[in-house]
Amino acid sequence: MVVHPNIHIPKESFPHWIWYAAECVLLIALSFLAAVKITDSLGELPVDIHNYVITGIFGTFFLVWYIGIRGFILKKKILRNRY
């Protein structure tokens, strides 16, 4: 339903997937930075254990954001049927 033809509505003119891509890139950057800082604060670890700890913390951030916060608190499903 168009109320006024001169009004700019971002949802109709801006590609919707770009918001999801920006959210994912921001989450990747923040979770990697936090994982490195947390792992460095643990002290001296062997290199292989250090990499596993970074990967575990990185994955935990994704699970907490996409399943916990986004899924239950914000109530926004990642994959949903739009039609």
Q: Is residue 74 in some structural domain?
A: yes
Q: Is residue 2 in some structural domain?
A: no
Show the domain range for 40: 31-83
Hey, what are 15's tokens? 């590609």
Give the pLDDT confidence score for residue 1 in this predicted structure: 57
Give the pLDDT confidence score for residue 83 in this predicted structure: 45
Q: Is residue 68 in some structural domain?
A: yes
Look at phi and psi of residue 23 and say left if phi exceeds 0, alpha if psi is from -120 to 50, else beta: alpha
Cα–Cα distance for residue pair 57/55, rounded to 1 Å: 6
**Length reported for the chain:** 83
pLDDT mean by block of 10 residues, the chain; 83 residues: 62 69 90 92 87 92 86 67 50
Q: Helices 47-63 and 17-41 meet at what angle, rounded to 10?
A: 140
pLDDT by residue (tens digit) across 59-71?
A: 999 889 888 888 7
